[in-house]
Each structure stands twice: as structure tokens, then as C-alpha cells.
Amino acid sequence: MKRIINTVNAPAALGPYSQAIEVNGTLYVSGQIPFVPATMTLVSECVEEQTKQSLENIGAILKEAGYDFKDVVKATVFIKDMNDFTKINGVYEKYLGDVKPARACVEVARLPKDVKVEIEVIAVK
């Protein structure tokens, strides 16, 4: 059975997609950009702050679905500039360091709303 996850504690979808979908004990969280949910505005130009906000948004979706960061098995990090890799990792490790899920990190030409980072995860119960 498929369950759609939606919370006001994470930014509303910018297009025709769900914040997350749960199927058979697996949660697929859509890419989260660093928007503040209450205002739907960019948190800051600082890549560390953007990474933190993206992860806070993921945390809110995980919580709404009854999951936690410890349940994350796969993460994909999309970044605008690979030179920010170390800065992003520093923040990422604070949220997922002990969990150490499988991960891909790729530099992309452009992200929605011209943010510097977008992160998606898969979590399993």
C-alpha cells in the first residue's frame, strides 16, 4: 500500500510531486531544497546554512512519517559547486554521521530556485 506523506514543517512541493511516499516500509523522500517552510524562502546564501535547512526539512518529513535519520539507508546530494563538498560534508555528518548511509554526491549545472544544495533520502523501517 502506498502512503503519501505531507507536512507543513517542510516546504510545500514546487511541482506535481509529494514530499515523500511510503511503500512497504520504505520511505522515499523527495529532494529537499533549503527553503524555510513557513515563508517558502531561501534560508541564506551560505552553503552550510542551506545544507542544514535541507536536512532540517528532511528531518521534518521523516518525523511526520514515523521515521528518523537512523532509518536512512541511501542519500543523494546534489550540489552546485563541488568546491563546497567539504563544507556540505561537515553539516551532513552532524545529521547522518553515525548512520553512514550509502550516498552519491553530484555536481549539477543548476538546481531549483538556484539553490546551492538539494538532498533526497530513502529510509527503511
The CATH class of the 2-124 domain is alpha beta
- Report residue 59 as a C-alpha cell: 528531518
105 is catalytic: yes
Quickly list DSSP for 8-34: TTSPPPSSSS-SEEEETTEEEEEEE-S
Backbone angles phi, psi at 59, to 5 degrees: -60, -40
Reported as a single tens digit per residue, the pLDDT across 61-107 is 999 999 999 999 999 999 999 999 999 999 999 999 899 999 999 99
Backbone angles phi, psi at 27, to 5 degrees: -110, 125
Catalytic site residue from 21, 36, 105, 111: 105
Distances (CA, A) of 59 to 54, 65, 80, 98, 110: 9, 10, 22, 15, 24
Helix (H) or strand (E) holding 36: strand 35-36
Task: Report d(CA 49, CA 124) in Å as an integer.
Answer: 27
pLDDT at 97: 87
Q: Could you tell me how far CA 108 lies from the centroid of its own chain?
A: 16
Reported as a single tens digit per residue, the pLDDT across 99-111 is 999 999 999 999 9
What percent of the chain has a predicted confidence (pLDDT) above 90?
A: 98
pLDDT at 81: 98
The domains of the chain are located at 2-124
